[in-house]
Amino acid sequence: MTWQNSAITITTLLPIVGALGILLVPRGDDRLVKGIGIAITGACLALAIAIAATYDYSAPACAAPPCLQFVLNVAWIPVIGARYHVGIDGISMPLYVLTFLLGFLCAVYTGRYVPEPGRIKAFVALTLLLITGMAGTFVAFDLILFFVFWELVLVPMYFLIGVWGSANRQYASIKFFLYTLLGSVFMLLGFLALYFSGPVDALGKHTFDLTALTAFGAGGGYTHLFQLVVFGAIGLGFAVKVPMWPFHTWLPDAHTEAPTIGSVLLAGVMLKMGTYGFVRIALPVLPQGAVAYAPWIGGLAAIAIVYAALACLAQKDLKRLIAFSSVGHMGFVMLGIATLTTIGIQAAIFGMVAHGLITGMLFFCVGSIYDRYHTRQIADIGGGMAEIMPKLSGIFAFVAIASLGLPGLAGFWGEVMALLGSFSPNTSTVAGLNVGLFRAFMIAGGIGTILTAGYFLWMLQRVNMGLAPERWKDNGFQDILTVEWVSWVPLLVLILVLGLIPSIVLNSTEQGVNLIVRIFGG
Amino acid sequence: MTIDYHAILPVLILSSTIVIVLVTDLFLPPRHKSASMWVALVGVLATLVAVLSLIGKGDRPDSFGGSYQVDAFTIVFQTFFMSAAAVVLLISYRYFREGGFYQGEYYFLLLTSFLGCLLMPASRDLLMLFLSLELVSAPGFLMAAFRKSDVKGNEGGLKFFLIGVLSTAVMLYGMSLIYGLTGHLQLAAVSDGLQQLSGAKETLANAAILFVVVGFAFKVSAVPFQFWAPDTYEGSPVPVAAFLGVASAAAGFAGLLQLMFVAFVHEYTFWVPLFVALSLVTMTLGNLVALQQRQVVRLLAYSGIAQTGYILLPFALVSADPSINHSAFQAAVTYILIYGIMNLGAFAVTTAISGQRPLLRIEDFAGLAKTAPLLATAMTVFMVSLAGVPPTGGFWAKLLIFQAGIQRGGVGVLLAVAMVINSVISVGYYFLIPRAMIFEDAEDQRPFRSPILVTAVVAVAMTALLIIFVVPNAIYRLGEVTSLGFGG
C-alpha cells in the first residue's frame, strides 16, 4: 500500500463508504447527513487534487496510449479474466478532478437546498453512489470494470430524477434509464467481441485489459469489417450518453425534470462519460472504424450544433433551454473528436471540462432562480431580474456569456479549437478524411456559434433586462446566499482562469492526445 | 450392487424428516400445527450439512450401479435446493399459520417435492431423472390447489395437473423410445448408443429427443408450453408459487442440462435450432406479456417465463467445440443459481405484502418505501437484479450468457442481441414495482407490520446479491467446477 497504488482506489470508493455510513445515521438527524456528505466529497476533492499535484507530468511517453500512473492492477474475477485495473493519465486527470469538484459543490449546495420531498438520507447516499460511478469510469482500465462503473450511475440517477424531480419526473426518469441502458447493452456486447477477437496470452487466455487491447487494436489487430461492426455497437452506447443528435431526446426531459444538483452532475460530468469513451476506447482500439465513422460523427455533430441552437431559440422553459444548449456544446466536442487531429481532440477534452464548469454553473443559477420565482417559464419571470436581484442576474449573465463562447472565458477555447481542427482534419491516414466535408461542418459550426450567441443574449434580454413585473417586486427575494457563493465561486473563478490560461488543461492532456493521434498517423 | 451411504446421506435424512413431519402432525394439538415447520426446517438444515460434508471428498459415482452420482454438479445443486427449501419453509410459516390451511400436510408435500429436487442433480439415468421429476411435480399439483375455497386456486391446480401429466406422458414415451433404440438408461451409455444410430433409427431417435425436450419444456414453462404457469402461480399460495418458480423450474433445468449436455450432446445439430427458437420465443413473449401485467404474482410468472428464455439460450449455443459447450454450461448453471436468489427474494417480499394486501396488485405496493423501508429497498434490489443492471448480482448472471453467445459467434451473437434487447424491455415492467413503492404514496399510511422471518430471509437475499456484485468470482467458480465431465 503506497500512495501511488492506493490513491485512486481510496478516492474513487470513498463516496460508497460515506453512503453506507449515512445509512447508519438515525432518522431525523439531517444536519449530520449533510455534514457527512460535505465531509466525504470534500475529502475526495482534496485527494483528487493531491493526485493531480503528485502526478508526474514530465514522465516520458510510452509506446502506446494510455500512459498510466497511480496504477493498481489486481485479479478481480479470474474466471472471466476481468481485473481490477485502475490508473490515471493526463486525459483522465481534468475529468476526474472535475467530477469531485462538482460533487463537492453539489454537497455544499445540498446543505441549504434539499429538493422536495426531503428524504435527505437517501438523497445524499444516492448522490455519493453516483459520484463513485462517474469518477470510476474515468480511471477504469479494464473493460468490465469500466462497464460496471458506467452502469453504476444509472440506478442512482434514475431515483434522483424520479423521486426529487419536478412535475413530469416519472416519465423523464424511465426514459433516461431505458435510453441509456439500450445504448450501453450494445456497448457491452461490443466489449465482449473485443475480448474474444483480441490478444491471447501464453496460456491462451483472453483479456479485458484496455492497455493490452489498445496496443493490439492500434497495431491493426482487428479486421476492417470487425472494426466497422464493433465500432457501431460501442459507439452507440457512447453516442446515447453524449448525447449525439438524433439520440438526444432523453436529455431535455431528464435535465429539465431532475433536481438542481442532478442536472449539474448530469450535464457537468455524466455526458462526458460518452465523449471520454470515444477518446479512450473507441478511437484507439478501433482506429479503422473511427476513420470510417468520422465523417458521420462529424456530420451528426454539425447537425447537433445547428439543431440545438434552433431548438433553444424556441424554448419557453429556462431549464429546458439550458438543457438543449448542452446538445449543441457536446456537438462541438464530438466535432473535435471526429477530426482525429491533435487540436480537435484537445479541443474536445477542453470543451468537456469547460462545459462541465459552465453548464453546471448555469444549472445552479437556474435552480436558484426557480427557488425564488417558483417558475421556470421565461414569460412568467417576465424580465427585470437585474432590478430585483442584481448579483444573481450578474452572475447569470457572466455564465451565459461564457457559455456562448466569449474569448477570455473557458467556453471559447473548446469551440474555436474544434472549428480549427475541422478546417484541417486528419488526412494523413491511408483513407484520410475529406477536407471539403469537414470544412462544411466547420461552416455549420460557425453558424451555430452565431445562433448560440443569439439565443443566450435573447434569453438574458428576456430574463435580466426590462422592468420587473409588479408581482415579483415586493416578494422579498433574497439575492445570492452565502451557501450559493461558496458553491459557485470556485466555478466562476475556474471559468475565468481556464479562459485566460487554457494551458492548465491542455498541457495535462497533450501527451495522451498525441499518442492517440499517432495511431492515425498524425 | 454397492451403496455409498455417505453419498446418499442427504437423501436418507430428508426422507426420514418427511416421515417424522407426517407423524408428528398427528400428535400436535390444532393450535400448534405450525410447529411442523420447525421440524421440517431442522431436517432441511441437517440435509444441507450432510450435502456440505461431501465437499472435497472426490466424486462418488458408485451408488446403485451409477444411477445416483455425487460430483460437483450434484453438490452445487443440492446445496442450492436445500437453501431454497429453507427459504420457502421460512416464508411459509406465517402465511400458512394465519391462512387456515392444513399445515402438517403442506410441509409433508413440500419436503417431498424437495426430495425430488435433491435427487434430480444426482440422477444419471433416464429412469432416475423421470422419477425425480415426478417426485417434484406430483406434490406440486396438490400444493398449487391448496387454496381450496378459491376458484382460481382450483383452476390453477387443475391446469397444472392436466398439463403436468400430459407432459410426463410425452416425455416418458420419448424415454422409452431411446431405451428401445440404444438399450441403455445410463446417460453416458445413451450418448454413445445414440451416436451409432443411422438412417431411420436416427430419425426415430431425433423424434424421441423431441418428446423428451417437450416434456421438460412444460416443466420449465418455455413458450409454447407456458400457459399453465401464470394461472397456477396466481392461484397458488404465494410461498408455493415461490417453490414452483424457483425450485421446480431449477430442478427441470438440472435435468435438462444433464440430458442435453451429456446424453444427447452429439445430436446437437438436430436440437440446437429447436432451442434457438424456444429461447427466442420464450424470452420475447414472456417479456411482452409481462409488460401488460398489473398483478404482481402474474408479473413474476411472466418474468419467470422470460427468464426461462434466457436460461435456454446457452443450450442453443452447443456445438462441436467443447470449450464453447463448457462456457454455455457454466453460464446456464450460474444463471440458475443467481436467478434463484433474486426470484426467491422477490417472492418472499410478495409473501410479506400478501398478509395485509392480499390482492397483490402493483398499486398495493405503493408507498412501501415509507411504511416498510427494508422490504422496499430489498424489492428494488431484486427487481434491478432481475433486470440485470448493476449494482446487483443479476448483472453477472446475464454477462456470462452474453459472453458465451459472443464466444459462440454466428447464431450466438444474434441470440445475445435478442437477449440484450429483451433485457431493456424487461426494465419496463420490473421497474413498475420500485416505482410504485418509492415514487407514489399509499392510501394506507400506517406502518407496515413486516413479518420477522420473511424480513430476515429478504435481508439475507438482498445482501447476497450485493455481495455477489462486488465479488462475483466465487459464484462463477461454482459454475466452472460443475462440468459434468464433458469437455472441461
Q: Model confidence over A372-395: pLDDT tens digits?
A: 888 889 988 888 888 888 899 999
* CB contact at 8 A, A192 and B403: yes
pLDDT higher than threshold 50 for residue B373: yes
Chain B residues lying within 8 Å of A80, measured CB to CB = 399-400, 403, 476
Yes or no, beta carbons of A79 and B403 under 8 Å apart? no
pLDDT higher than threshold 50 for residue A206: yes
> Is the minimum CB–CB distance between A162 and chain B shorter than 8 Å?
yes
Strands B68-70, B60-63: pairing kind: antiparallel
Strands B68-70, A82-88: pairing kind: unpaired
ipTM: 0.91
pLDDT higher than threshold 90 for residue B66: no
Alpha-carbon gap: B189 to the closest alpha carbon of chain A (Å): 31
Phi and psi for A142 in degrees, rounded to 5?
-125, 135
Which pLDDT score is estimated for A79? 87
Nearest to A181 by CA among B4, B96, B172, B428: B428
Cβ neighbours of residue B176 under 8 Å, at least 6 residues apart?
none
Question: Higher pLDDT residue, A348 or B440?
Answer: A348
Burial A102-115 (b: 16+ CB within 10 A, else e): bbbbbbbbbbebbb
Alpha-carbon gap: A29 to the closest alpha carbon of chain B (Å): 17
* CB contact at 8 A, A242 and A335: no
Map residue A76 onto helix, strand or coil. strand
Mean pLDDT score, A232-255: 93
Mean pLDDT score, A59-69: 83
Which member of B384, B407, B420 has the closest CB to residue A185?
B420
Which member of B391, B427, B473 has the closest CB to residue A181?
B427
Mean pLDDT score, A355-371: 93
CA distance A53 to A47: 10
* CB contact at 8 A, B239 and B92: yes
Mean pLDDT score, A305-331: 93
pLDDT higher than threshold 50 for residue B488: no
- Banded model confidence at residue A522, pLDDT cuts 50, 70, 90: low
- Banded model confidence at residue B4, pLDDT cuts 50, 70, 90: confident
Chain B residues lying within 8 Å of A74, measured CB to CB = none
Which pLDDT score is estimated for A429? 64
DSSP annotation of B145 reads T
pLDDT higher than threshold 60 for residue B487: no
Mean pLDDT score, A322-346: 93
Alpha-carbon gap: B417 to the closest alpha carbon of chain A (Å): 8
Q: What is the 3-state secondary structure (H, E, C) of A368-427?
A: HHHHHHCCCEHHHHCCCHHHHCHHHHHHHHHHHHHHCCCCCCHHHHHHHHHHHHHHCCCC
Map residue B213 onto helix, strand or coil. helix
Chain A residues lying within 8 Å of B391, measured CB to CB = 129, 148, 151-152, 155
DSSP annotation of A104 reads H
Mean pLDDT score, B112-139: 94
pLDDT higher than threshold 90 for residue B182: yes
- Banded model confidence at residue B140, pLDDT cuts 50, 70, 90: very high
Phi and psi for A87 in degrees, rounded to 5?
180, 180
Question: Any idea which residue has 437517501 for its cell?
Answer: A122
- Banded model confidence at residue A281, pLDDT cuts 50, 70, 90: very high
Yes or no, beta carbons of A189 and B424 under 8 Å apart? no
pLDDT higher than threshold 70 for residue B406: yes
Which member of A76, A154, A188 has the closest CB to residue B402?
A188
> Is the minimum CB–CB distance between A171 and chain B shorter than 8 Å?
no
Question: Higher pLDDT residue, B56 or B347?
Answer: B347
* CB contact at 8 A, A428 and A521: yes
CA distances from A225 to A199, A238, B258, B446 (A): 17, 20, 38, 61
Q: What is the 3-state secondary structure (H, E, C) of A122-183?
A: HHHHHHHHHHHHHHHHHHECEHHHHHHHHHHCHHHHHHHHHHHCCCCHHHHHHHHHHHHHHH
Residue B363's Cβ-count burial label (10 Å; 0-12, 13-18, 19+) is middle
pLDDT in tens, A87-106: 999 999 999 999 999 999 99
Cell numbers standing for residue A4: 501511488
Which pLDDT score is estimated for B264? 92
Residues of B within an 8 Å Cβ radius of A? 384, 389-391, 395, 399-400, 402-403, 406-407, 409, 413, 416-417, 420-421, 423-424, 427-428, 431, 435, 438-439, 472-473, 476-477, 479-480
Which pLDDT score is estimated for A520? 84
Q: What's chain B's length in residues?
A: 488
Nearest chain B residue to A198, by CA: B407
Greatest Cα-to-Cα distance within chain A, rounded to the nearest angstrom: 78
CA distance A123 to A118: 8
pLDDT in tens, B238-285: 999 999 999 999 999 999 999 999 999 999 999 999 999 999 999 999
pLDDT higher than threshold 60 for residue B197: yes
Mean pLDDT score, B59-70: 83
Alpha-carbon gap: A143 to the closest alpha carbon of chain B (Å): 13
CA distances from B480 to B306, B325, B483 (A): 24, 12, 7
CA distance B360 to B175: 41
- Residue ranges covered by each domain of chain B: 268-488
Yes or no, beta carbons of A163 and B439 under 8 Å apart? yes
pLDDT higher than threshold 90 for residue A349: yes
DSSP annotation of A119 reads -
Cis peptide before B391 (omega within 30 of 0): yes
Mean pLDDT score, B321-337: 92
pLDDT higher than threshold 80 for residue A474: no
Question: Any idea which residue has 478516492 for its cell?
Answer: A11
**Global confidence as pTM:** 0.94
pLDDT higher than threshold 60 for residue A430: no
> Is the minimum CB–CB distance between A159 and chain B shorter than 8 Å?
yes
Q: Which amino acid is at A322?
A: I
Q: What is the mean pLDDT of chain B?
A: 91
Q: Which amino acid is at B284?
A: T
Interface with B, mutate which of A17, A77, A194 (most B CBs under 10 A): A77
DSSP annotation of B294 reads -
CB within 8 Å of chain B, chain A residues 125-154? 129, 144, 148, 151-152, 154
Q: What is the mean pLDDT of chain A?
A: 91
pLDDT in tens, A403-418: 998 998 999 999 999 9
Nearest to B376 by CA among B389, B364, B394: B364
Q: C-alpha angle A107/A109/A113, rounded to 5°?
A: 115
Q: C-alpha angle A464/A494/A406, rounded to 5°?
A: 50
CA distance B224 to B279: 11
CA distance B455 to B387: 22
Lowest average pLDDT, out of A333-337, B15-19, B275-279, B439-443, goes to: B439-443
Q: How many pairs of residues across A and B have Cβ atoms under 8 Å apart?
A: 83
DSSP annotation of A61 reads P
- Banded model confidence at residue A431, pLDDT cuts 50, 70, 90: low
Interface with B, mutate which of A76, A129, A155 (most B CBs under 10 A): A155
Map residue A82 onto helix, strand or coil. strand
